[in-house]
Amino acid sequence: VWRAEKPSRGRFREFVQCDADIVGSRDMAADAELVCLACELLAGLGVGSYSVRINNRKILSGLMEAVGVRERSLEEGVLRTVDKLPKVGKEEAARLLREENGLAPEQAARILDFVGSGGVTDEILGRLRSSFAEGGEGGAGRAGVDELSEVTALAAAAGIAGLVELDLSIARGRTYSTGP
């Protein structure tokens, strides 16, 4: 792969990438199939211990709505910061949310608490259902919770439930990710 733009620090203009994409299907079975494919490839490569982490972009849209981030450009900036969380840590991410994105400290804390909450799949899905309850804030997130529930149920039916981990901190932009 070649980057069209000037590479940022730590990135190369030319690199090797292997991926699989789904275009044109809204069926969650297609997304579950990608999770199965990832597990099959990692097992085939002899990777001993791994997990496939998944999230749903609609859940993040619901979170943005719930905390009062309604402007699309601000949402994109906030999610770029959330995506840096594993690299920069919670304190630095909070600072960036406040200083670069202009969020109130309460908004930044609520976002970081939400995306940092862990647990087993059923616990996380239960919290998400409560967070995006019918008639409550963050209505966009309800569809994301339903889709994530379906993908994890299909993964369980395929026998790989123990390899799938819900990670609410995985944040991708709307320009190329609209669902799982």
Q: Which helix (H) or strand (E) holds 41?
A: helix 28-44
pLDDT in tens, 26-66: 899 999 999 999 999 999 999 999 999 999 999 999 999 99
pLDDT, tens only, 7-35: 788 878 888 888 888 888 889 999 999 99
What's the pTM value of the predicted model, to 2 decimals? 0.85
- Name the 3-class secondary structure at 2: strand
The 10s digit of each residue's pLDDT in 68-125 is 998 888 888 999 999 899 899 999 999 999 999 999 999 999 999 999 988 999 999 9
Beta-carbon contacts of residue 118 (< 8 Å; ≥ 6 apart):
124
DSSP 8: P
Report how far apart, in Å, the C-alpha atoms of 65 and of each of 6, 22, 94, 103 are.
34, 27, 18, 13
Tell me what the mean pLDDT of segment 137-163 comes to: 92
DSSP H helices, 72-167, are 72-83, 85-99, 105-116, 121-131, 140-157
